[in-house]
Structure 1
Amino acid sequence: MRTRELFLALMTTAGLAGCGPAAVACPAIAPATAVSVTVPADYAPQVGTLRLKACQDGACKEDDVELHPGSDSIDQGCTPDGACSATASPNGTKVGMLMLDSLTEAAITVTSSGNTVDGAPLPVHTLEFRPRADHPFGVQCGKFLSAAVTLESSGLRERV
């Protein structure tokens, strides 16, 4: 008799649980803990090497940044069955990242230095800003922090 009562109680509870809002699956990915940098196409040909220093919460990280050619995503459209695609097209920019041990919502100070393609020193630029918080998969999946800058001939600016 007890088994039958337990079975009925479990079935009733399971049925009620199905009436509530459905659980949302969150992707099992983590954002890169880094400061990303983009050098626009009009300044990229002048930048030979780049070094970034990022300081936040009393800790600093400094390293050379490996620059790669940047690109834009070009929409290739979708098929009738819903499969969509895109391709990358070089845009003349240079992009890179300074990996960090941690990234918080506190203010971060980023300093850039380096050399031109001819070996002359680049001007040193410093920028203080707050990393951006975003919930790309909904608030139930947690927030992603990002710190991104653009290095132009006139200096550093936060990339939004």
Structure 2
Amino acid sequence: MHKPGLLLALTTTALTSAVISGCGFAASACPAIAQATAVSVTVTAAYSPEVGALHARACQDGTCKEADVELRPGSTSVDSGCNPEGSCSATASPDGTKVGALMLEALTESPMTVTVSGTGPEGTALPVRSMEFQPQAAYPFGEQCGKVVSASVTLDDAGLHQQVRP
């Protein structure tokens, strides 16, 4: 084989190996989104009219963080169907809930205690509610993309409850 032919064969083999090993069909892409380290709080639709302002405190692994929680209207996804080309969509529809989050420096799978207090729309104090629970770990994009830890609670007239994500 002539030298130019050998060079072409080696170059093609090297490029093919690089493409297959780094970007081949077996590789799967992971989304480039960062996980929010926070405790999310949802006030149920039935209890929402009773809540004007909310303050939360979360303690985990010997560290506590507390702040006022900015509440905004919650929503649910409504299926808008699919078109003949296979594109599907959904819209957000208000559901009467209020949602917010307490941002944390770190979030682990260790047990945590969350306490919420607040006031009603007229400024009357709401009952202080507290609970201990363990944040959930999941691999929503597959194990190759890493673990996501979430901490979510729901507040209603009976107290705080852990939101369990499917």
Q: Same fold (TM over 0.5)?
A: yes
Q: Distance in 2 between matches of 1:4 and 1:146?
A: 55
Listed one character per residue, the Cα deviations across residues 87-120 of structure 1 (whole Å, up to 9, x for unaligned) are 1111111111111111011111100001111211
State which of 45, 48, 51 in structure 2 corresponds to 1:44: 48
Measured after TM superposition, the shift of residue 7 of structure 1 is 5.4
Q: Distance in 2 between matches of 1:140 and 1:71?
A: 31
Listed one character per residue, the Cα deviations across residues 60-111 of structure 1 (whole Å, up to 9, x for unaligned) are 1100001111111110001111221111111111111111111011111100
Measured after TM superposition, the shift of residue 17 of structure 1 is 7.9
Unpaired segments of 5 or more residues in structure 2? none
Q: Which residue of 1 aligns with 2:104?
A: 100
Partner letter of residue 85 of structure 1? S
Q: Distance in 1 between matches of 2:17 and 2:107?
A: 43
State which of 11, 14, 24 in structure 1 corresponds to 2:13: 11
State which of 123, 126, 143 in structure 2 corresponds to 1:122: 126
Q: Which residue of 1 aligns with 2:145?
A: 141
Partner letter of residue 141 of structure 1? C
Normalising by structure 1, we get a TM-score of 0.89
Q: Which residue of 2 aligns with 1:34?
A: 38
Q: Distance in 2 between matches of 1:127 and 1:4?
A: 70
Measured after TM superposition, the shift of residue 8 of structure 1 is 3.8
3-state secondary structure, aligned to 2:49:
helix
3-state secondary structure, aligned to 2:76:
strand
Q: Which residue of 1 aligns with 2:92?
A: 88
Normalising by structure 2, we get a TM-score of 0.86
* Count, aligned residues: 159
Partner letter of residue 79 of structure 2? D
Q: Which 4+ residue blocks in structure 1 deviate beyond 3 angstroms?
A: 3-10, 12-21
- Percent identical pairs in the alignment equals 58
Q: Which residue of 2 aligns with 1:154?
A: 158
3-state secondary structure, aligned to 1:22:
coil
Listed one character per residue, the Cα deviations across residues 131-157 of structure 1 (whole Å, up to 9, x for unaligned) are 110111100000111000001111101
RMSD in angstroms over aligned alpha carbons?
Answer: 2.3
Partner letter of residue 135 of structure 2? P
Q: Distance in 2 between matches of 1:73 and 1:5?
A: 57
3-state secondary structure, aligned to 2:52:
strand
Q: Distance in 1 between matches of 2:62 and 2:100?
A: 24
